[in-house]
Amino acid sequence: MLRDIDHFIAGEAYASGGRTGDVFDPNRGEVQAKVRLGTAEELQRAVDAANAAQPAWAATNPQKRARVMFRFKELVETHMDELAELLSSEHGKVIADSKGDVQRGLEVIEYCCGIPQSLKGEYTQGAGPGIDVYSMRQPLGIGAGITPFNFPAMIPMWMFGPAIACGNAFIVKPSERDPSVPVRLAQLMTEAGLPDGILNVVHGDKEMVDAILDHEDIKAISFVGSSDIAQYIYSRGTANGKRVQAFGGAKNHGIVMPDADLDQVVNDLAGAAFGSAGERCMALPVVVPVGDETADRLREKLIPAIEALRVGVSTDADAHYGPVVSQAHKERIESYIQMCADEGGELVVDGRGFTLQGHEKGFFIGPTLFDHVKPSFKSYKEEIFGPVLQMVRAKDFEEAVRLPSEHDYGNGVAIFTRNGHAAREFTNRVNVGMVGVNVPIPVPVSYHSFGGWKRSGFGDIGQYGQEGIRFWTKNKVVTQRWPDGSVTGENAFVIPTMG
């Protein structure tokens, strides 16, 4: 019998009627659960719960809010195996990768444990005669997060951790493809002592998304997903007067200089291009060797490394990656492989047609490698989001800088080199938001901030770190004077100055 995945509102499961969606087991290609697809009615129930709880939570001092984060962190660590298994069963990534998903989200929660320090304002004594000025960061009220299927633990924690630590209530709308982990995280937050109504989870599709974008009580929205939807959410949300950050797709490049350690590069590329079946916005699906000699040497080493990759079920401890999330996504990836071949790319390793004995209906794709891909190819311009690595040969360093800089996406980029000057020049000049030097997946640590440029990011403020604190709060500045009782004779009709 299929299990039902309910909303989580006001600290408990809420089973709405109406439409449901299928949640698959990607390893078997079979439906394992039904998720309830909510409407504006379910959203209103969540908003009502958030409105009832948020004022008292905002009035709770930051140290007490931090203690809830500490307890939540401990509970997530205790339930790590359970969360990873649940995540893998719906997403398809291998267990080790699912634990990494949870852990990277937990690192932001660790940062939130220091929220008293992060919320400290500024103070100036004697800004003018007898005048002091100070600032404070105050919560917005209710925030919402619309999260993608590829990181069902990490990205919700990236969003609700800072928002809740800052004193807001929060509503998560997870992907309907793998919605169980966000619900479980909300349950653990409640167990950690978070008041009912501060963290709610509502399920749904575009109908629910539009209801969130249009609800006047939701003051800020964070989104991660495809660029077209990110642009839509940013445009509609800001038109409704909301603060919005919307992160989209990517086509990250890995620049390989002639002096790079190619054995290390191959090892890094194998993980960055094919890990999690390439379903990462920070994956490395394009490698750019500088010079044909570098390209030929890299290709020679890449082919056996790719052919040695093990594709298996999520619970296979020896598998490098598992299935993709759905049959539709598998077919989409395979269509891009055919597209790139039709455009003139050399198909060196073809991952189509891969099957796993005993799991013939699973959504598996083998690793794929293309060489001689051109910047004019549509398959190069667009995000494939699968286990496909495209090699684009650059004739020199200048072309290697230009390729990622001129691409529509500007999420991440990496350069592999032993030359400090080349690395410094590249990092200064490349028109991309996050840069790695001999680091293939340059996701910033939790006390910095995540955010891409161009069509990879809409909005001016990044996720988590101090940027996240800024996004989920509003700044208030107070200018105060305590007169001594004497009348100064100042002209009250002239704008005051600090002179």
| DSSP secondary structure, 136-164, as one string | EEEE-SEEEEE--SS-TTHHHHHHHHHHH
Same domain as 365, residue 329: yes
The pLDDT of residue 490 is 64
Residue 403 lies inside a defined structural domain of this protein: yes
pLDDT tens-digit readout, 273-314: 999 999 999 999 999 999 999 999 999 999 999 999 999 999
- Of 112, 113, 166, 281, which is the active-site residue? 281
Instruction: Quote the percentage of the chain above a pLDDT of 90.
Output: 95
Residue 488 lies inside a defined structural domain of this protein: no
Q: Within a 10 A sphere around the Cβ of 216, how many other Cβ atoms? A: 9
Instruction: Quote the percentage of the chain above a pLDDT of 70.
Output: 97
Rounded Cα distance, 155 and 185, in Å = 12
Contacts of 36 (CB under 8 A, 6+ apart): 4, 5, 6, 7, 15, 16, 18, 19, 20, 203
The pLDDT of residue 17 is 82
**In CATH, what number is assigned to the domain containing residue 402?**
3.40.309.10
pLDDT tens-digit readout, 166-213: 999 999 999 999 999 999 999 999 999 999 999 999 999 999 999 999
Rounded Cα distance, 238 and 175, in Å = 22
Same domain as 425, residue 285: yes
Query: Residue 1: pLDDT above 90?
Result: no
Residue 25 lies inside a defined structural domain of this protein: yes
Tokens standing for residue 370: 């293309």
* Whole-structure pTM value: 0.94
Same domain as 233, residue 105: yes
The pLDDT of residue 427 is 98
Q: Which of 437, 470, 489 is the last residue of a domain?
A: 437
Q: Mean of the pLDDT values across residues 257-276?
A: 97
pLDDT tens-digit readout, 442-484: 999 999 999 999 999 999 999 999 999 999 999 999 999 988 7
345-352 contacts, C-beta under 8 A, 24 or more apart? 345/370, 345/371, 345/372, 345/373, 345/374, 345/377, 345/379, 345/390, 346/370, 346/371, 346/372, 348/299, 348/303, 349/303, 349/306, 349/307, 351/387, 351/388
Mean pLDDT (the chain) is 96
Number of domains in the chain: 2
**In CATH, what number is assigned to the domain containing residue 122?**
3.40.605.10
Query: Residue 491: pLDDT above 80?
Result: no
Same domain as 89, residue 145: yes
Same domain as 144, residue 99: yes
Same domain as 422, residue 332: yes
Residue 485 banded pLDDT, cuts 50, 70, 90: confident
Q: Mean of the pLDDT values across residues 154-158?
A: 98
Same domain as 220, residue 111: yes
Residue 445 lies inside a defined structural domain of this protein: no
The pLDDT of residue 145 is 98
58-61 contacts, C-beta under 8 A, 24 or more apart? 58/138, 58/139, 58/167, 58/168, 60/167, 61/116
CA angle 15, 17, 20 (to 5 degrees): 90
Query: Residue 488: pLDDT above 90?
Result: no
Rounded Cα distance, 401 and 394, in Å = 9
Residue 104 lies inside a defined structural domain of this protein: yes
Same domain as 359, residue 466: no
Domain that holds residue 73: 3-248+456-478
- Specify whether 112 is catalytic: no
pLDDT tens-digit readout, 105-129: 999 999 999 999 999 999 999 998 8
The pLDDT of residue 484 is 78
Same domain as 419, residue 339: yes
Residue 494 lies inside a defined structural domain of this protein: no
Same domain as 410, residue 381: yes
Rounded Cα distance, 227 and 456, in Å = 6
Same domain as 367, residue 387: yes
Buried b (16+ CB within 10 A) or exposed e, 267-301: ebbbbbbbbbbbbbbbbbbbbbbbbeebbebbbee
Rounded Cα distance, 192 and 65, in Å = 11
Q: Which of 258, 270, 343 is nearest to 296 (CA)?
A: 258
Same domain as 283, residue 234: no
The pLDDT of residue 479 is 95
Residue 156 lies inside a defined structural domain of this protein: yes
Q: Mean of the pLDDT values across residues 384-410?
A: 98
Residue 337 lies inside a defined structural domain of this protein: yes
Residue 494 banded pLDDT, cuts 50, 70, 90: low
